[in-house]
């Protein structure tokens, strides 16, 4: 199978790059070794920020 673009990294920048390329009509493969969207949204930053905001 022929790939036009391969994006390495499934964090926020990788997802945005893949989305932009796909929107432009390219066939894109996204390769990552962690959760899609990056580690922060799943394991560290986002949940703590939501809890702190909810506590106020």
**What is the chain's alpha carbon radius of gyration, rounded to the nearest angstrom?**
15
Mean pLDDT across the chain: 80
What is the pTM (predicted TM-score) of this model?
Answer: 0.61
CA 38 to chain centre: 6
Per-residue pLDDT, 43: 62
- The domain tally of the chain equals 1
Q: Span 3-7, mean pLDDT?
A: 89
Q: Is the pLDDT of residue 31 over 70?
A: yes
Q: Span 6-26, mean pLDDT?
A: 93
What sign does the CA torsion over 7, 11, 13, 18 have? positive
Give the residue numbers spanning the domain of 50: 5-55
Q: Is the pLDDT of residue 27 over 80?
A: yes
Residues 12, 37: Cα–Cα separation, whole Å: 5
What backbone torsions phi and psi does residue 27 show, to the nearest 5 degrees?
-85, 120
């Amino acid at each position: 199978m022929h790939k036009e673009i391969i994006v390495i990294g499934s964090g926020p920048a990788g997802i945005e790059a893949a989305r932009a390329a796909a929107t432009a009509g390219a066939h894109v493969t996204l390769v990552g070794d962690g959760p899609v969207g990056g580690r922060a949204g799943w394991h560290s930053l986002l949940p703590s920020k939501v809890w702190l905001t909810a506590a106020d």
